[in-house]
Structure 1
Amino acid sequence: MSATSAPSASTPDAGPLPVQPRGRPRSAAAGTAVIESVLRLLEEGVTVSELSMERIAREAGVGKATVYRRWAGKEALMLDVLRSMDERNPELPGTSVRDDLVALLDFLRRRGLAKRSSAVMRTVVAEVQARPRVWKEYHETVVSARREAFLAVLRRGMASGEIRGDADPELLIDLFVGPMLARVVLHEWKELPEGLAERIVDTVLQGVRPVP
């Protein structure tokens, strides 16, 4: 992190990243300009370590105080940069539990492809992963929302009889998501072809459907 980061943003056990006040109504536009400036600089080849809050403010055309009012330091800013590149959970077809699970899992597949094709995304993800407290906060917000979407579908399947009622929904999430994440994170040389989500979902569902 840059030496200009606030001390609280670099202390491992300092607790959750501070929530910054929104400020005047125009601060939303200023915040967008700051995040877009960070993304543009990264696209131009500037490394995260080379980014200072002063340079970011200058590139965004805002005062340094405006940046610090919204983010306590570069860690908090990079977390919002990562969030800005994320997408909401997909709309679910609702035709069956199987189709909804495929939609959620295929969303992760496409996110994996986007990460592989985007040098900027890889840079930001690596930067945030290197800071456990920031990565934990990302999981508690963005990733937990995805997990809740899976839980809702699985519980619906258990209630409708499409999935065994004695199954552990938390374990089922790992069974569905694990193979996709293994390819995205651990085995990046492996392909993420269309139809992979369907194959994973159908394979797991064979083992968790109620026995007649």
Structure 2
Amino acid sequence: MRQAAHNPAQDPAEGPVGPPCQDAEPRRGRPRSAAVERAILDAVVELLETGETLDGLSIERIARTAGVGKATIYRRWSGKEELFVDVLRDMEPADPTVSGTAGLDDLRIMLESLRTRSLAQRSSALLHNVFVQMKKHPRLWTEYQTTVLGPRRAAMLAAVQRAVDAGELRGDLDAELMNDLFLGPMLVRTVHRPEAPLPEDLADRIIAALLQGLAPRSPKAQVTAVEPTSAPV
């Protein structure tokens, strides 16, 4: 664990934090260092892996573990809750790349991504515990919904609308409702029923079931052969 003390005024990756020399030309902004941000995110994960809770974390301890000054963290995040959201987002698999022009094909890709993210969470005690802690903090959960879940939902809704425009889905139904119908079964399996199986073809099965409908199929017409009779009319 990185515990070296650090002078926030001399962060080598960031440059001096103190006021500039009076003769120096004013700068329009200091570029962020990817290496510093990586160290900060890794420091939070390192502390969480030791069993630390979100309530127990402090910016000072995160800074000490990352080997940076507190000012370096506050230049990027307003506090530990905002930082925690970025840590969680960084721990998750990247959002899938979709065409942006297809309808059902893009929707299938996004549903599959949700399935694989849930598999990763099930197999990671750290990810599971992070989500549990986050849901205990309403402000943090709201921030996560706004910055992470909201854009994902919007992307799925856009794919549903593309499917409607392409004639793949009905145009007389509310797109929001159809989006919920596609997303709902996957969320039930991944969130509300953590013991439920997540087979590889789950996204395809959800889409197929919705496209086919849930009403029973009409039985095929039975054709009864009428035997000719020799009896007199």
Q: TM-score band (shorter)? A: 0.7 to 0.9
Per the normalisation by structure 2, the TM-score is 0.72
The answer for the alignment partner of 1:163 in structure 2 is 169
The answer for the alignment partner of 2:207 in structure 1 is 201
1:108 offset after TM fit, Å? 0.4
Residues 72, 165 of structure 1: alpha-carbon distance in 2 compared, 3 angstrom cutoff:
same
The answer for the alignment partner of 2:9 in structure 1 is none
1:34 offset after TM fit, Å? 0.8
* Distance in 2 (alpha carbons) for counterparts of 1:94 and 1:135: 28
After superposition, where does 1:55-204 map in structure 2 within 5 Å?
55-92=61-98, 97-204=103-210
Q: Deviations over 1:12-60 (max 9, x none)?
A: xxxxxxxxxxx63244432221111111222233333332221111110
Q: Is the 8 A contact 2:85 2:140 kept in 1?
A: yes
Q: Which ranges of structure 1 fall in alignment gaps of 5 or more residues?
A: 1-22
The answer for the alignment partner of 2:11 in structure 1 is none
Q: More displaced, 23-32 or 45-54?
A: 23-32
The answer for the alignment partner of 2:22 in structure 1 is none
Moved over 4 A (4+): 93-96
Per the normalisation by structure 1, the TM-score is 0.79
SS at match of 2:95: coil
Q: Deviations over 1:153-173 (max 9, x none)?
A: 211111121111111111111
Q: Which is greater in Rg? A: 2
* Distance in 2 (alpha carbons) for counterparts of 1:93 and 1:63: 42
1:114 offset after TM fit, Å? 0.9
Q: Deviations over 1:129-154 (max 9, x none)?
A: 22222222222222122112212221
* Distance in 2 (alpha carbons) for counterparts of 1:70 and 1:202: 45
**Cα RMSD for the two superposed structures:** 2.2
Q: How many residues align?
A: 186
Identity %: 53
Query: Counterpart of 2:56 in structure 1: which amino acid?
Result: E
* Distance in 2 (alpha carbons) for counterparts of 1:32 and 1:149: 27
Residues 184, 74 of structure 1: alpha-carbon distance in 2 compared, 3 angstrom cutoff:
same
SS at match of 2:68: coil
